[in-house]
Amino acid sequence: MIPSLAAAGLVVVATVGLAGCSTTVDMVPAEDANDPACAEVSVRLPGSVDGQSRIWTDAQATGAWGNDGSAILLRCGVAAPGPTEAKCITLGGVDWVVDETQAPKYLVTTYGREPAVEVFIDNEAVSPNEALTQLGERVVQNATTSVSACTNTETLLEDATADNG
């Protein structure tokens, strides 16, 4: 499951590079971005996350925050992860499966929620713990349905921004 998460993250990261000087971040929508719950996710996206302002995207059911729109990237309607031995954390009342293969950038995907939401976080620009807490509480809990939960969870990711400030 982790290789497909990494591939999805690379698609999102690659598309940010194409944004150039545009005020819109070029992203690829998830396969199930047209799920009605993803529309609910979209309307709940906050104007800022962990002090990073929202930048508009050109794809359905996506969000981006940061000076160039790459500190935090969100896509709704991604493939839900199945049972995994990957790290699972609980932040903002939501279980997230963590792909650390691109650390200090993390690709995290909701676990046990329909539709699934993935968030790509640059740990050098924002606190992943704060970003996931804010998105979990404000967006994911209220717009997606919980159908299962991780059996073993942690509560924090290593936070590089804590060392910078």
Rounded to whole angstroms, the Cα distance separating 131 from 144 reads: 18
What is the per-residue pLDDT across 136-148, written as a single tens digit (0 to 9) for each? 999 999 999 999 9
Q: Are residues 90 and 96 in contact, defined by beta-carbon separation less than 8 angstroms?
A: yes
What average pLDDT does the structure give for the chain?
Answer: 86
Q: What is the pLDDT of residues 72-85, one digit of tens each?
A: 999 999 999 999 98
| Cα atoms in the 13 Å half-sphere on the side-chain side of 83 | 1
Q: Rounded to a whole number, what is the distance in angstroms from the first to the last CA of the chain?
A: 34
